[in-house]
Every structure is written in structure tokens, then in C-alpha cells.
Chain A
Amino acid sequence: MRRALLKTSYRMLLRRPLQSFLMLLGVALGVAVFIAIDVANQSARRSFELSTEALIGRATHQVRGGPTGIAEDLYRELRVELGFRKSAPVVEGLAVAVDFEDHILQILGIDPFAEASFRSYLNEVPYFQAGFEAFYTDPSSVIVSEAFALRNDLKPGDFLRLQVNQRFETMTILALLAPREGELTAALDNILLMDIAAAQELTGSLGRLSRIDLILEKDEIADLEQHLPSGVRLQVASEQASAAAQLTSAFELNLSALSLLTLAVGMFMIYNSMMFSVVQRRTSLGILRTLGVTPNQILGMIMFEAGIIGAIGSILGIILGLRLGQGAIQLVSQTINDLYYVVNVRETAITLAVLAKAFALGIFGSLLAGMIPALEAARVEPVSALRRSDLEQRVRVLIPGLSRAGIVLFVISAILMTVFPRWLALNFAALFLMILGIAFLVPRSVIMFMRMAQRPMSFMFGIHGRLAVRAVVMGLSRTSVAIAAFTISLAVTIGVSVMISSFRSTVGNWLETTLQADLYVTAPLGGGTRLIAPLAPEIADVFEAIEGVQLVETFLSVAIASPSGPVQLSVVDVKRTRDPSIFRKSNLSPERIWDRVLEGSVIVTEPFAYHFEIQPTGDQVTLFTDRGERSFPVVGIYFDYSSDRGAILMSDQTYRQFWDDPSISSLSIYIGEGEQVEVVAGRIRASIQGRGLLVQENRTIREQALAIFDRTFAVTNALRILTIVIAFIGVLSSLLALILERGRAQATIQALGMAPKGLIKTMLLESGLMGATAGILAWPAGILMSIMLIYVINQRSFGWTMDMQLGPTPFYQALVVGILAAMIAAIYPIILLLRQSVAESLRQE
């Protein structure tokens, strides 16, 4: 018996190949998007972890200092006098291989004699063999990874031109590093290995170390800590990596949520198609029941079908997702590079766990979607098999309950958001509940809409218009699900567009108010990332002397350790008052704030205040300074959209007082009245020729910042489009179902004299009406969605406030897309319908 049932299922799926295919496509696309995003996130994270791990090696602890590192004497003291033998000095830095498309290399200066216990792959280098003396004696000797060399067609003996800080140096490749452990290949891809002394010279940090790596036993820790001078700390080695990984977690969560949404839209589609196949088989189901098949067996049979669709769809989705993943990795790692840290993804992290998760999700989603149709099928009575009209009747009865449930979901969603403001995942859950709530309100709204549309449609299109309205209402159980899925995807589009454009205009305004200077001078390294090589401080004086320059302000962005991990510090010597509108919150007047900042207080960015729950009055931030741990009072919170981890702003005086670091990372130049920007810029460029510095007008910086902004939302945009594609498939499959179902009625109408062109007209009107309904319902839903995204999701993910900008464009776009997409979806069903012989359709019962 069971086998016979399974065979029935199997036949069913094959008999309607197009329907089955569309269902598979729905699952597959959903799963694919999920996998692609997951793989991209994981790959970026994994390669970052690998490279951090590779650099940390087997060290358990690290001794670190301030931004300028630690004195190398400390190393000698620890190793020789205090007897910490398992210790190794490290000098780190960044260099640009100028001949190779801005390739950023990571300088790693080591002492081969101390390395043995730390980084095993480094022991593969034949430091102590004959012919390798140059490593120690020639400061221009470097070792690069074999992968890097292969890619750029380099071999030992070749020259490598580098820019480090403001200098250009030509190095000689001494050997290639080819780690035996495969995983390390990618991690060490951009390494530039040097002798420690040479690295100090190259990075301009003579006598300083970036850190000392240590392998410590538990009992040694306290002992060592005692001997550290102030401003130098002992850190657990792994903390570094996890702190960095934390940075991107909100970004990743946002992408994952959006990818899950695509899957959810896919589920609507499965629900709809399964429901259709159940209704269609009511007679055979009834017959099966008379033959003694139990309701449970029927239930099992339908669930089995859903499972099969889910399984095959998931497999297809995995295959597709791995392909999409490559593209997603590009987009995601670009954004991570722009906003967070340098990551060089060379390998795709595809773990069994990811695949299993996606597979399970696809099947689970399909089963969930198939549950109601399966229960419906199990209700079929032996004699009077379920009729379409019964179903419609029941749906009609269900509507008030559905609408109430929708309201309840809204309430739960609101409660979740208010009660757990800091639990990001729950806020996303709230977003999903809200979306589901919207879906539940759709049937009610469709009826209302059709009631309103009746007259105008009849007036404009006569009987065709009326038939179209009628068809939407009478097929409510099917049309409303398709409309709901479509509404949601259009609402997501509206929501995301409004969010992005609000965000963009907020950032644009902010750039306008903050970028007040006429010219900015930076080292080119780093592009959009925060890794900016320091400039020599004297350079400010050089510029001040240039004709036409009125004022030069310095700026330094530096990562500083704090008890709660590394934080970004912005150091400015404010010579000009800033636009008071950059302050978000403070009890002081803007002038007072600057006075206080000059006196040693700090202000923090909005995201910083959000993440560390800082109030603008009374709170303090604690930092590890070169003079030891110090607390700085916070006197205000300011708007800043440059980084979502946030930053602390401190005056130049204060910084120089607590840190022995003279460096600056950029200069803002104000030119005198009546001067021409291009002319002054030309003079400045002439004065710094050959130093590898970038002189940019504020317009250029603004454009670059917005370009990064747009890149950041590339994935979001791609996902948004995919969601529409899936909803489009959903509309297509429900139109197909509706047509197949209506075969005889349609043939009757044709027999009564409706011409093929009338039929085309009616069908287009019907689908257009569905699209228009979805498009219009998407308006309130989209506004709700954008409010959620702007004031809840984004605010709580990143801590940014933005001004909501409601332009008409996304709204009429949604309407046009809705109508057009639905009409396009109708084309194939119409062709099918026209191909059917009227006589034949009339014969069918």
C-alpha cells in the first residue's frame, strides 16, 4: 500500500513537470542564496582567522604596547634576564607592492633564532644554510609567498618595489615561502617575511617591536605581568582574532537575514503549488480513501512529496549556491575590506556543516510549507471529495481569523522589539513576524481591493475587466498566497530602497558637514580601509608655509587597546569650529564641548556609544595609554558614519600627552580666501613629489566615500532582486495552476464567443490586477518595513541614526514592477491556454 502511494506521488510530480520544476526552482533559489551568503561570510571570516592564526602561531600570549609598539630592550630583558625563553619578537607593518595593482603586503619581521617554537612554517625557510646570509646582512632581502610570486610572475633574485609609509624602496626576493600545510597557503598569501632588523628599518621603527609573542605556563603569567612597564600589556593571543571577527558579526547577520527572507518567499511558492496539487487530486484522494487509505497515510504522502521537492530543490540550490557563492565572496570581501579589515579570500570555505545546514533548511522549509496542504488532503472524505468551491468557502471563513492572527503577529513583533532592544537576532525574528503578519492581512485586503476595483475595471474594460476581478476573488485561496508573496518581496524592495536612500542622504549630508577643509592629504595605502600609514608630523609645517594655505589641521586614526578590546581613536587638532549639527547628544553647548575636549575630555561616535552603552554625561572611557590605564570623561556623542564599530575623538594635545606617538595619518588643509583650490593643490603636490602622498579635494573624498557606500549595498541589492525573481516565479506558478484548474470554464467562455484576444485581455487584466494589488499593498508594508530597517534593524546592528527619506520613486517603481512582472508571468500561461483545444477542454471533467 505504501509503495503504491509513493508511486502516486511520484507520478503526480512528473505529470505536471512545469509545476514541479517551478517548485524546485523556488526552493533551489532560496537555498542557493542562503548558501552563497553563508559561504561568503564564512570564507571571509575563515581566511581572516587563518591569517591571524598563522601570524600568531603557537603563541599563547602577546606583549603589546601603544600605537608605536614597545621598546626592543624589553624583549632582551624578558628573555635574558627574566628567563622567558619561549618568546619571539615581531615587527609588523604594511607595504604596497606598487607594481602590482595596489597589492597590500603584510610585513612580518622575525628573529629566526627565536622562532622555533612559534610559527612552524617559518622553520621551513633555510635560514641557516649557506647562501642565506643575505637575509641577515642585506636589509633589502625579503621572502614572499610562492602564491604571490606565481601570480605576479616573480622568482628569487627579482626586485620588488614597495611603498612603505612615504618611502619607496626596492627589495630583492631572496626565497619563496611555500608552507606545507595547505590551509596556510591562503593565509600567508600576502606575507612579506624579513629579518627583524630589516623590518624595523623598512617600517621606520628602529628600536621598536610591534609585539613579543610568548608561550606561557599559567604560573608564569603573574610573574611576567609584574615586570611590564606602564603602557605595556600582556594579552591572550586569541583575543585579537575574536575581537576582529566580532566587528563583522552585525554585517553578516544582516546579510543572512536577507538571504533567509528569499527562502521564505520560496516557501510561499511551495505552499501554493502543493495546495494546488492537492485540490487537483481531490477525486483521486477521495478514491484512495474509499480504498482504505487512512488520513494519516494521505498526510504522509503529501508530506513525502514536499520532502522530495525540498530535497531535490535543496541539492539544486546547493549546486547553484556554490556558484553564486563566488560572486558573493567578491562582494562581501570587498565590503569587509572597505569597512572592516584587510581580508584576502583565496579559498572558498565550504564546510559540510554549511551544506548540511542549507539542505536541512530547504527540506524543513518545504515540509513546513507543505503542512497545510497535507492536512487539507487528509481531510478529504472518501465520498465527497474536496471541491474547489469548498476550499474557497473555507478560506472565506478563515479570513477574519487570519486577519486577527496578522494583528497578533504585529503585536508580538512590537513586544519583541521593545523588550529585547539589544538582542539583534530577536529583532530580526520580530521583522520576520511582521512580514508574516503582513502576509496574513493580504486575503482580507485583496477582497477589499477587488470590491473597490470592480467599478473602475468594469468601466474601463467592460466584461473583461469584470471577469478578471471575479477570477481574482473567486480563486482567493490561490491568488492571495501569490499576492502575499509578491507583496512581501515588493515591500522588501521598498523598505530596502527607502533605507538605503535615507542612509545615503544622511551620509551625504554628514560628509558635507564634516568635510569642511578644501584639501586632504593622506598616504594612499588602505583605500577605504582604516589602515592608513602614518605621515611624518613635520609635514604639517611644510604645508603651512605654502602660499595660499591658510590653515592645516592634523588627524590621526589609530587603534588603541582598552579593557574591552581594541577601539579606534580619532585624534584631531581642532583649529576651526565644527558645524554644531554634528553633535547628536550632549548637555553642553557645542562650544563648551570643544573646550572640554581641549581640556582632556573625549566625545564618542554614535555607534561607539551604542555598542558600549555610553551616556553623554558622567560616563568615561578607559584606554591603555603609554602611561598606563587612564579614563577619559565623555562629554558628547557625535554623528559619524565612517565606521560601525565606532570611534573616540580626542584632542591632539591630550593624545600626545598620554602616548609617545608623534605620527599623523592625514592633514586637512583650508585655503585662503580668493585662492583657487586647483592652484594650491598643485603647489602642495609639487612640494611633496616622490613621497607617495595623495592630495585630494574634498569633493573627491566625498565621492569615494559614497562609492564605498554603494559597494556596501551591492549584496543587498542583488538579494532584493532575487527576492523579486522568486516572487515572480510564484506568480507564474499560481497563474499556471489557476489556468489548468479553470480549463473547462475557460473553454465555456470561449465557446460562448470570447475571442482569443479577449481571453488574452482578461488574463492580462487578471494578472495585472494581482500585480497592482501586490504593488499597492506593498506601499504601507514597505513603509513599515523601512521604519523597521531604519529605526530598529540598522540602529541596533550598527548604532547609526538616519533621517528617513520618503521619495515617491520606490513606491511607483514597486507598482510598475508589480504590474509588469505579473503580466509577464501571465504570458506563458496564456500561450498554454491558447494552445488548448476548446473542444477538448469542454470534454474534461
Chain B
Amino acid sequence: MSVELIDLSKSYRDAEHSREVLCGVNATIADNEFLAIRGRSGSGKTTLLNLIAGLDTPDSGIVRIDGLSLQKMSENEKAAYRRENIGFIFQFFNLLPTLKIIENVSLPAELAKVRQDEAEARARSLLESVGLADRANDYPDKLSGGEQQRVAIARALIQSPKIILADEPTGNLDSVMGAQVMELLIEMSRARRHILVLVTHSHQIASKADRVLMIKDCLLVDDPGLEGQLSDDPP
């Protein structure tokens, strides 16, 4: 599975000003690749992930998944594409407060019409691997930030999607907790041979990626910071 971004542009307008967030982004993400994306706050990282997930539409340009253009799909088809291929980990966890932990995790599977008992079995084993099996029947507001994010990771992985989009999954966590969560995510997605697109501020985390790109002046460019770091560090 591959992801191609072709000439993607996106700008936001209101009455007074128009703001270009992305202005012709091109990139290809290869199968099994772990891609890190960096960029200043407000540079358009979340916007880019939303475009890849088909949650948002570009002003122009194409997102192509295995040769199929997202822009040619209906909303229902895009939803099916997300269900089958995408695992999304949000910047702000976004667990559903009205569902128990186990239900939160099994939700994507159930949306894909997996039988409830099977979906819950899968969810249980994933919760086990993120270390939260004992909290399965709690509601999300009972969990700490790190725990919530681990639930979100489990949720993103339940359908064994080909592509995992993680939007600063540790942005709202302290560094120790953040590192743990991140380890978990990278390890699990490696093991399952997913594409992992990870938005992060951290050099350290980015350094684990196969490739690091950066959004700068509305374009996606190779990350100079990473190169500098690489050259500094002994191989």
C-alpha cells in the first residue's frame, strides 16, 4: 500500500484574510514506512493528516491511495476507506465519553461490521498489550491522559489498518509518559507492518523514523533539523 500526495493545496478564508496552509504539497509514502512530520504550531500538520484520512477536502490536488484518488470517492466510500485502511490517533485523544473503554476500542471494528463478541475479544487483547486490560469497563473520564492515549492507540490498531495517522500523540503528555506511549506505538506498528505517519515536535522521536519531513511555508520539505542532527551524531 502506498500513499501519494500530489500538489495538495489548502487555504482557509474568512471575511478579511485568506491563509494558505498548504500550497502544493507533494510526497509519496511507501509501504511499511514510518514517516515523521514536524512543523511549527499552526503550520498545517493536522490539516495534512485530515487530508490523508479524507476527513477534509483539499482546494486542489489529489490524495491517492494505492492508485485510487480519494477525491473521486463519495463520503460513504471515504468512510469505508477510513474504516478499512486508516487508524487515527488524535491530538486530543477524542475518546467517546459515552462509551466504556472496551467499547471505545472495539468501535472501529464494529463499524466495519465485525461481530460484537469478536470485536470485543480483539479489543481486550489490544488493551492487554497497552496494559489497560483491567480498565476495560471504565468510562474514559476515569483515566489519566496517558492512559487515554494508550486507549486511543489500541483503538487505532484494532482493524489492523494499513495506515496509522498519529497527530502528536504525546503532545498532551509529560515526557516520561510521552516516551512510553510513543515506544508502544512505534513498536506495535512496526510489528504489524503498518505505514505510520507521525506528527511530532520531538527530534528524539523523529529520529526513530525512516524519514522526517517538515511543513515549512506551506510546503512539505525534508527536515533540515534532522539532517543536522544526523550529521552531528556519530553513526
**Interface residue ranges, A against B (CB under 8 Å):** 389, 458, 462-463, 466, 470-471, 474, 744-745, 748-758, 837-839, 842-843, 845
List 23 interface pairs A-B (beta carbons < 8 Å), by A numbering.
Answer: A389-B97, A462-B113, A462-B116, A463-B110, A463-B111, A470-B99, A748-B90, A751-B53, A751-B55, A752-B82, A752-B88, A752-B108, A753-B79, A753-B83, A754-B111, A755-B80, A756-B76, A756-B79, A837-B56, A839-B50, A842-B90, A842-B94, A845-B92
B113 proximity list for chain A (CB < 8 A): 462
Q: What's the nearest-Cβ distance from chain B to residue A741, in Å?
A: 11
Give A327 Cβ to nearest chain B Cβ, in Å.
46
Seed contacts A474-B97, A751-B55, A754-B79; 7 additional CB < 8 Å A-B pairs: A466-B110, A750-B55, A751-B53, A752-B82, A752-B108, A753-B111, A838-B50
Q: Does B107 contact A (CB under 8 A)?
A: yes
Closest B residue to A458 by CB, please name it: B116
- Is B56 within 8 A of A750, CB to CB? no
Shortest CB distance B156–A (Å): 9
- The yes or no answer to B112 lying at the interface (CB within 8 A) is yes
Decide if A758 touches B99 in the complex (CB within 8 Å). no
Mostly, the A contact residues are: helix
Q: Does B128 contact A (CB under 8 A)?
A: no
Instruction: Report yes or no: B56 in contact with A751, Cβ–Cβ below 8 A.
Output: no
- Give Cα A845–Cα B169 distance, bound, in whole angstroms: 17
Q: How far is the CB of A266 from chain B (nearest CB, A)?
A: 29
**B75 & A756 in contact (Cβ 8 Å cutoff):** yes
Q: B96 interface residue, CB < 8 Å from A?
A: yes
Nearest first, the 3 A-B pairs at minimum CB distance are A753-B83, A755-B79, A839-B56
Looking at A462, A470, A474, A755, the one whose CB has the most chain B CB atoms below 10 A away is A755
Q: Which of A753, A838, A843, A845 sits near B80, CB closer than 8 Å?
A: A753
Cβ–Cβ < 8 Å partners of A756 in chain B: 75-76, 79
How many pairs of A and B residues are in contact by the CB < 8 Å rule? 79
Interface residues on B, range: 20 to 34
The reply to whether A755 and B110 contact each other, CB–CB distance below 8 Å, is no
Dominant SS among interface residues on chain B:
helix
B79 and A744 contacting across the interface, CB-CB below 8 Å: no
Which single residue of chain A is at the shortest CB-CB distance from B77?
A755
Min distance, Cβ B218 to any Cβ of chain A, angstroms: 17
Highest count of chain A CB atoms <10 Å: which of B82, B98, B108, B112: B98
A749: chain B residues within 8 A (beta carbon): 96, 107, 111
Smallest CB-CB separation from A756: which chain B residue? B75
Q: Are A752 and B155 in contact (CB under 8 A)?
A: yes
B86 within 8 A of A: yes
- Chain A residues contacting B118 (CB-CB under 8 Å) are none
**Are A745 and B97 neighbours in the complex by a CB distance under 8 Å?**
yes
Q: How far is the CB of A101 from chain B (nearest CB, A)?
A: 62
Most buried by A among B76, B96, B99: B96
- Most A-side CB within 10 Å, residue of B55, B90, B113, B141: B55
| Distance, CA A839 to CA B76, complexed state (A) | 16
Chain B residues with CB under 8 Å of A843's CB are 46
| Listed residue (B53, B79, B86, B155) with the most chain A CB atoms within 10 angstroms of its CB | B79
Nearest CB on B from A388, distance (A): 8
Known: A749-B107, A752-B155. A838 touches B97 (CB 8 A): no
A462 to B118 Cα, complex, angstroms: 13
Taking the closest CB of chain A, its distance from the CB of B151, in whole angstroms, is: 13
> CB-nearest residue of chain B relative to A459?
B116
Q: Which B residues between 71 and 126 are near A, CB-CB below 8 angstroms?
A: 75-76, 79-80, 82-84, 86, 88, 90, 92, 94, 96-99, 107-108, 110-113, 116
Closest to B82 in A: A753
A contact residues around B84 at 8 Å (CB): 753
Are B98 and A751 in contact, CB atoms less than 8 angstroms apart?
Answer: no
CB distance B111 to A752 under 8 Å? yes
- Tell me the nearest residue of chain A to B99, going by C-beta: A470
Contact of B55 among A463, A466, A755, A839 (CB under 8 A): A839
Residue of A with least CB distance to B112: A753
What residue in chain A is nearest B158 (Cβ atoms)?
A752
**Which of A389, A458, A474, A753 has the most B CB atoms < 10 Å from its CB?**
A753
* A838 to B50 Cα, complex, angstroms: 9
The answer for the CA separation of A745 and B99 in the assembled complex, in Å, is: 10
Instruction: Give bound CA distance, A471 to B96, whole Å.
Output: 11
Q: Shortest distance in angstroms between A170's beta carbon and chain B's nearest beta carbon?
A: 80
Q: Please indicate the chain B residues that have their CB under 8 angstroms from the CB of A744 in the complex.
A: 94
User: Are the CB atoms of A471 and B98 closer together than 8 Å?
Assistant: yes
Measured CB to CB, the closest approach of chain B to A745, in angstroms, equals 5
Give bound CA distance, A658 to B88, whole Å: 98
* Complex Cα–Cα for A758 and B82 (A): 14
Closest B residue to A845 by beta carbon equals B92
Given contacts A389-B97, A745-B97, A748-B90, contact A753 B75 (CB under 8 A): no
Q: A753-B80, A753-B83 are in contact. Are A474 and B88 (CB under 8 A)?
A: no
Separation of A745 and B86 alpha carbons in the complex (Å): 18
Residues in B with CB closer than 8 Å to A748 are 90, 94, 96
Q: Which residues from B are CB-within-8-Å of A752? A: 82-83, 88, 107-108, 111, 155
B76 touches A757 (CB 8 A): yes
- Assess A751 versus B88: contact at CB under 8 Å? Given A756-B75, A839-B56: yes
Per the bound structure, the CA–CA distance linking A754 and B86 in Å amounts to: 12
Distance from B9 Cβ to chain A, minimum over Cβ atoms (Å): 15
Please indicate which of the listed interface residues A389, A744, A748 has the most CB atoms of chain B within 10 Å of its own CB: A748
A residues near B53, Cβ cutoff 8 Å: 751
Measured CB to CB, the nearest residue on chain A to B88 is: A751
Whose C-beta in chain B lies nearest to the C-beta of A754? B111
Q: Measured between alpha carbons, how far is A837 from B80 in the docked complex, in Å?
A: 17
Q: Are A470 and B111 in contact (CB under 8 A)?
A: no
Which residues from B are CB-within-8-Å of A758? 79, 111
Q: In whole angstroms, what is the CA distance A180 to B211 when docked?
A: 100
Contacts of B99 in A (CB 8 A): 470
Whole-angstrom distance between the alpha carbons of A758 and B155 in the complex?
Answer: 19
Closest to B75 in A: A756
Structural contact, B141 and A389, CB atoms closer than 8 A: yes
Among A458, A463, A754, max chain B CB count under 10 A is at A463
A330, B52: Cα distance in complex, Å: 65
Closest partner residue, chain A, to B113 (CB atom) = A462
Closest to A748 in B: B94
Q: Is the CB of A462 within 8 A of B110?
A: yes
Residues of A within 8 A of B76 (CB): 755-757
Residues from chain B with Cβ under 8 Å of A837 in the complex: 56
Known: A463-B110, A749-B96, A752-B107. A842 touches B55 (CB 8 A): yes
Bound Cα distance A845, B88 (Å): 18
A389–chain B nearest beta-carbon distance, Å:
6
Q: Nearest Cβ in chain B — how far from A285, in angstroms?
A: 20
Cα distance A466–B111 in the bound complex, in angstroms: 11
Residues of B close to A470: CB separation below 8 A: 98-99
Question: Does the CB pair B82–A751 fall under 8 Å?
Answer: yes
Contact flags B157-188 to A (C-beta < 8 A → 1, else 0): 00000000000000000000000000000000
Q: Report yes or no: B141 in contact with A753, Cβ–Cβ below 8 A.
A: no
Are A753 and B108 interface neighbours, CB within 8 A? Answer: yes
What CA separation (Å) do A752 and B92 show in the bound complex?
A: 14
Report the separation of the CA atoms of residues A757 and B94 in the bound assembly, to the nearest whole angstrom.
22
Nearest CB of A to B46, in Å: 8
On whether A745 and B98 interact (CB within 8 A), knowing A463-B110, A752-B111, the answer reads yes
Q: CA A744 – CA B94 in complex, angstroms?
A: 8
Return chain B residues, CB-CB under 8 Å to A750. Answer: 55, 79
Chain B: CB-nearest residue to A742 = B98
Smallest CB separation, B105 vs chain A (Å): 11
Task: For residue A593, give the distance in angstroms from its CB to the closest CB of chain B.
Answer: 69
User: What 1/0 mask marks residues of chain B from 39 to 53 whose CB sits below 8 Å from any chain A CB?
Assistant: 000000011001001
Bound complex: CA A389 to CA B53 (Å) = 30
Task: Give the docked Cα–Cα distance between A458 and B117 (Å).
Answer: 12
Contacts of B155 in A (CB 8 A): 752
Residues of B within 8 A of A754 (CB): 79, 83, 111
Q: Which residue of chain B has its CB nearest to the CB of A746?
A: B96
Residues of chain A within 8 A of B47, CB atoms compared: 839
Known A752-B107, A758-B111, A842-B90: A745·B96 in contact at CB below 8 Å: yes
Residues from chain B with a CB closer than 8 A to the CB of A471 are 98
